[in-house]
Structure 1
Amino acid sequence: MNHPFTDFTKKQDHLVCIDSDGCAIDSMDIKHIRCFGPCMVKEWNLQTYEKEILKRWNEINLYSMTRGINRFKGLAKALKEIDSRYTQIEDVDTLVQWAEETDELSNAALQKAIASTDSSILKKALNWSEAVNEAIKQIPREDINPFAHVRESIEILHKTCDIAIVSSANYEAVKEEWTRFGLLEHVDVLLAQNAGSKKSCIEKLLTCGYKKENVLMTGDAPGDMDAAKGNGVFYYPILVSGESGSWAGILNAVERMKEGTFGGAFQEELIQTFVENLMK
């Protein structure tokens, strides 16, 4: 599983794509609250406005329709707001532009941009991202676990479906967590931050020979829904604060996909509930 797609071939007629952080693994809130936000405050010396800034960081990344946004897009959005509301962020527009225009949102892509521009804010963004990765490694293992019903659901699904992790998180972190929880043995391919966007990952998976009506994306964020819609495949949402209940219903949902009754009213109702849950 070291290189995206290299070792992957279609085995089953149906494919279930699963996001990791905040969807299968209860790690998203912990990582943002303990690592992403505080590391930004430290890197840009924002302690004066820490309480307001951290609250807004969590709104952007966890509790709104931008939940699950890529870390660099989230950083650019947060720093742009901080620049206009609280204190000047030097050269913030360079970061905003890079986050909008780059083909790949990763540390490696950022390093290439720094090599060609020598931009100070891009260097700070890389420092922040590396500090976040280091902080995540320091989270006690016992603090992060899969949501209830995840392990048994994936195990059952894998008997009749190919399983792909489709995540925008750090590859090594996803691999380590799924291995530790005994989940990776029920996965056929691991596609993380280094494999490209979720939309492009699903697009590449479809070239392996799946019919679109036999593919389902499971996620907890609007970006997961958009990746599914952008490829014409089904979306099964994991509801924030209702994750266990969502996982308890996934086997029934996949049966509906196999029977051909997932599309239409059932899909629309799932999406409506998902959006309303995030807009609370």
Structure 2
Amino acid sequence: MSDPFSGFEKKRDYLICIDSDGCAIDSMDIKHFRCFGPCMVKEWGLEAYEKELLESWNEVNLYSMTRGINRFKGLVKALTEVQEKYQSVEGLETLVKWVEESDELSNPALEKAVEETGNICLKKALAWSQAVNASIKELPKEEVKPFEGVKEGIEMLHESCDIAIVSSANYEAVKEEWTRFGLIDHVDVVLAQNAGSKKSCIEKLLTYGYDKNKVMMTGDAPGDMDAADKNGVFFYPILVKKEKESWANIGEAKDRLQAGTFAGEYQDALKEKFVKNLTK
């Protein structure tokens, strides 16, 4: 597997990390509504409980403080619910163990685990994940697009900051979408599911010589905030259902980052608003 960081170099003093799905690209809802949940129901033959399971899937993955959770962690939550409420899931404990212990939660890493164990649940999880990727590719292109203000915002940010996509989504899908919408020209490196966790991606980016006080993670999910916090960098939230407003205000965040006035009251207020928006 090629190094996702290959060719990347620090060009500017400031770094803006940007999540993709649900943050820059309005694709989270449609992908979960039509791909992730339904593919799980089909792979495990859960049609009898479809309504309840899909509602639960969407609550966990879209509308709560677990929004943006890695697909395999989300799958474990859902299958654990299936086992507890509806029916047995063969081999689930092995999938749970892999999710808890694997350094990388991705299809290639899962393929390796399948080869090593032959576990039925790992095999089905891989088939599910591959089916999700295939179904995402089949989504009508016109229904997946950037949120209003994203292109202008990223162009503005890139004038004085390095830009890194830091996403837990599938690399090919992220690259294709950002290319199709003309956003990729304003990006210095694409770090997706294959590059490891968001925390580890930011950690690696910092080794290129950025001052932590000059780095901002932009995201729509608690995992984005957590990745920023664990690396000691700033967090700018894109609020669910208020994405246009969030992108319209990102210029102020950039200005504060560069003026050294992001820390303290401004950062605290952003985080408070973010949490409140997902827990109301």
Which TM bucket (shorter chain)?
Answer: over 0.9
Partner of 1:10: 10
Partner of 1:73: 73
Residue matched to 2:277:
277
Residue in 1 that maps onto 2:109: 109
Secondary structure of the corresponding residue to residue 6 of structure 1: coil
In 1: Cα distance, 2:92 partner to 2:115 partner: 18
Please tell me the root mean square deviation across aligned C-alpha atoms, in Å.
Answer: 0.7
CA contact (8 A) 1:235 1:267 kept: yes
Note the 1:48-127 alignment, pairs <5 A: 48-127=48-127
Please tell me the residue identity of whatever aligns with 1:108: P
* C-alpha distance after superposition, 1:106-163 (max 9, x if no partner): 1111111111111000000000000000000000100001001100010011010000
Check conservation: 1:39, 1:131, Cα contact below 8 A.
yes
**1:220 match:** 220
Q: Which runs of 4+ in 1 moved over 6 A?
A: none
Distance 2:136 2:80 in 1: 25
The answer as to 2:32 corresponding to 1:32 is: yes
In the aligned structure 1, how far is the partner of 2:57 from the partner of 2:28?
13
* In structure 2, distance between residues paired with 1:12 and 1:112: 38
Alignment of 1:129-140 (within 5 A): 129-140=129-140
What is the rounded CA distance, in whole Å, between the counterparts of 1:90 and 1:140 in structure 2? Answer: 34
Is the Cα–Cα contact under 8 Å of residues 72 and 99 in structure 1 kept in the other structure?
yes
Matched, 1:195 2:216: no
Q: Distance in 1 between matches of 2:147 and 2:86?
A: 37
3-state SS, counterpart of residue 20 of structure 2 = coil
Aligned-residue offset at 1:23: 0.2
CA–CA distance in structure 1, aligned partners of residues 87 and 60 of structure 2:
19
User: Unaligned regions of 5+ residues in structure 1, if any?
Assistant: none
Partner of 1:205: 205
**TM, length-normalised to structure 2:** 0.99
What amino acid does structure 1 have at the position aligned with 2:115? A
Separation in structure 1 between the aligned mates of residue 157 and residue 235 of structure 2, nearest angstrom: 16
How many pairs were matched up? 279
TM-score normalised by structure 1 residue count: 0.99
Q: For residues 217-251 of structure 1, what are the alpha-carbon distances to aligned partners after superposition, in whole Å with 9 as ceiling and x for unaligned?
A: 00000000000000000000000011110000001
Identity %: 68
Q: Which runs of 5+ in 2 are unaligned?
A: none
Q: Which amino acid aligns with 1:147?
A: F
Secondary structure, in 3 states, of the residue corresponding to 1:127?
A: helix
**What SS does structure 2 have at the residue aligned with 1:154?**
helix
Is structure 2 residue 151 aligned with structure 1 residue 166?
A: no
Q: After TM superposition, give the deviation of residue 3 of structure 1 in Å.
A: 3.8
